[in-house]
Structure 1
């Protein structure tokens, strides 16, 4: 008898898992509490603007991400960001400064102090750290200096995690950076050595390019649903609860529907696990559910006619030490096609984060007023007359892989060992980017198939 698999959550991880299971003929049912699929991915189109409620882009950081889009190429098309996406701006002392991309730029930029530029020359010769739970801030101060932390790493972390480098643990939050130091002894030397290492044809697919899908990221979600089969998705599935049985699991939803499954894959947030899996030990779940999440406000702003400074960059990031009210902005229409009318602009602005969670509680009017004041000054506008302004709030936007990560991963491993056929996944582990989610989904499917 073929196995039946339940997947809880119809976001990118859950749908990718379901897609690869269906390719092997496994019987799958995906349960989603919302009335739509895609999780945080949602493309909206209005009056000539194409904007995202949620992530706007991904990075081709894994071969699995490129391969999934290749497999769906009959239904959706990859869009690689144009050259403007290679440039990032950092706000310092009332103006934008280009973030340097090489050693020479790092030495000449006004972003970093003279003493730290001298420290940069010695970075390849410093010893690797010995604390596996060292914070990102401590690591950067140790290897590169305070100004690099303030004006390179801190805004970078705000852009990815909306987080605090003092609380993120490098080994879990940025494992590739951690491994550069541990394996090669240096960020700079390690990057050079790693670039020279031979790559397989498959590895070359992880180009690190910024990507979207032509017409928006929802086209990727729609393609996955079409391949999986909409009849295998149950939306509006409220009050999902899973019980462990002698053989497999029973899943109930909407208070009166119960179905038996051989395996259950959870892709929901850490905070939702206790109510969904009441049979799991409280002490083990506590190690997982204490995972903190950043609260973020996203404001999509569109102009039919752009009259500010030229937006030839991926976006601008605002270091926390600059004490502004926005985390940064993405200039989407500068590097993706058809996101705004010709001659216009589409900008995605972010507020809140771990260090300013109170922003999520502000009214739409207050948020719009803040964005108007900040962007008018920062982007050289003489008047504020947007044609589009959409506010979205996310109470659990981005998990923060901090000091709790080691215990969290140990708890997940113990639960899965004690309950064969139960997999706890989603962004509570294995990375937060779209490529991370796709890779995890494929690996979950391969594990279940084996």
Structure 2
């Protein structure tokens, strides 16, 4: 066997597909997944006529449609784009929703920032470069833009992207373009365009985000085996041997661990206790979703656009924000209905999943009432939980990855990949997985 891939999330699937595209014979490749389904965090659910995401709400296209993978799979015609109105995003401020400022002009017009905070923006190009490669995001933003931009803009942005809090996030690992703009050009504002700091365009598929997973599974065919829970890993000559809890064993010259850091750490213990300890030290946060559907006629006019985020200093409960799911993709709800999705938990609220579902639903309804005036009874309710869903790239994460890379040099044919390490987005995971696989071509 040439290669075994452990983990059927998006990273493992993209890695295996790239190997096939690069010439690895199908009978020389195995992808083994412990769960009964593939996709990892990507999960599209169907219930009562609603199509809703329990993982990432959308994908982000940087112009390459996930590094060319969509074209290779032949599913370009199934790509869905949101309407232009989705560009409208909201932020809770002063007990109401205000449009999120877009671009320099929006920053100077918004009521979210005081006049003094707006003047402070003019000074950003003259702030000295930071010298700490492990600087946290809160310090970075406060140093360059001031505390008000941190509290009112950067804080909700951090929770919306990573479900994190700025004080616990390394700037270089979480926002590498911001870090690069400062280090190379001395200013975020001056260097933004030069480092390619341009927001991507969101998209999904006709059958939801899971359509990407299904297309990959179909392309991989007999290479994929679900229900295989690996319990041990050891060297086998010049390769590796994996054993499942049911006693089955597989051996291959190359092994890719496309697993979350926790499971990867347990398998690595027999190979390298040091490497296992490093992977185990990556923390994760849990996130819960509450989906609610309402009749279009019951909705106030504020529920238009993409959705809203809630800064910590505006929060009255454990909600991070609300997405207007079927405003983005109308096919996600039956005609005449609107589907919303609230996100709760993250690093702000680590104990969120100990609460009963009805308590979470009550929080969401209370927030919608306060910020939008929506008081109608929902016609549909669904609650889902993702325990240890997202990694936290804490200060020191980049240095940790460098140490891990050195440790991996002792293990020819072993790859570590996935959301736990870098590229905390679907597009980033796909790109990194395909890069690694291509490096083994030929």
- Cα 1:284/1:193, change in 2 over 3 Å: closer
Question: Corresponding residue for 1:369?
Answer: 362
Shift of 1:337: 3.2
Which of residues 398, 402, 415 is equivalent to 1:406? 398
Question: Corresponding residue for 1:107?
Answer: 108
Q: Is contact 1:116-1:148 (8 Å) kept?
A: yes
Please tell me whether residue 277 in structure 1 is matched to residue 268 in structure 2: yes
Please tell me whether residue 90 in structure 1 is matched to residue 82 in structure 2: no
- Cα 1:209/1:435, change in 2 over 3 Å: same
State the TM-score, normalizing by the size of structure 2: 0.94
State the TM-score, normalizing by the size of structure 1: 0.92
Summarize the alignment of residues 41-190 of structure 1 with structure 2, pairs less than 5 Å apart: 41-61=42-62, 63=64, 65-74=66-75, 77-190=78-191
Shift of 1:148: 0.5
Q: Is contact 2:23-2:441 (8 Å) kept?
A: no
Question: Matched residues in 2 for 1:410 and 1:143: separation?
Answer: 27
Question: Matched residues in 2 for 1:376 and 1:28: separation?
Answer: 53
Question: Corresponding residue for 1:19?
Answer: 17
Please tell me whether residue 6 in structure 1 is matched to residue 4 in structure 2: yes
Please tell me whether residue 349 in structure 1 is matched to residue 342 in structure 2: yes
- Cα 1:148/1:381, change in 2 over 3 Å: same
Question: Cα deviation per residue 1:266-318 (whole Å; 9 max; x = unaligned)?
Answer: 11111112322232332332222111111111112222445122322211000
Q: Is contact 1:285-1:411 (8 Å) kept?
A: no
Please tell me whether residue 358 in structure 1 is matched to residue 351 in structure 2: yes
Question: Matched residues in 1 for 2:332 and 2:44: separation?
Answer: 11
Question: Matched residues in 2 for 1:207 and 1:187: separation?
Answer: 15
- SS, match of residue 295 in structure 1: strand
- Cα 1:306/1:264, change in 2 over 3 Å: farther
Please tell me whether residue 313 in structure 1 is matched to residue 305 in structure 2: yes
Q: Is contact 1:291-1:404 (8 Å) kept?
A: no
Question: Cα deviation per residue 1:334-357 (whole Å; 9 max; x = unaligned)?
Answer: 121311122321111111111211
Please tell me whether residue 386 in structure 1 is matched to residue 383 in structure 2: no
Shift of 1:363: 1.1
Question: Matched residues in 1 for 2:180 and 2:65: separation?
Answer: 20
Which of residues 199, 210, 234 is equivalent to 2:202? 210
Q: Which runs of 5+ in 2 are unaligned?
A: none
Q: Is contact 1:4-1:263 (8 Å) kept?
A: yes
* Two-structure CA RMSD over aligned residues (Å): 1.9
Question: Corresponding residue for 2:225?
Answer: 234
How many residues are matched? 437
Q: Which region of structure 1 is more displaced relative to structure 2, 231-240 or 140-149?
A: 231-240
Question: Matched residues in 2 for 1:75 and 1:84: separation?
Answer: 23
Q: Is contact 1:64-1:438 (8 Å) kept?
A: no
Question: Cα deviation per residue 1:39-66 (whole Å; 9 max; x = unaligned)?
Answer: 1111112222110111110111363615
Question: Matched residues in 2 for 1:193 and 1:419: separation?
Answer: 38
Q: Is contact 2:289-2:343 (8 Å) kept?
A: yes
Question: Matched residues in 2 for 1:335 and 1:278: separation?
Answer: 44
Shift of 1:17: 0.8
Which of residues 326, 331, 343 is equivalent to 1:338? 331
- SS, match of residue 302 in structure 1: strand
- Cα 1:339/1:244, change in 2 over 3 Å: same
Shift of 1:390: 1.4
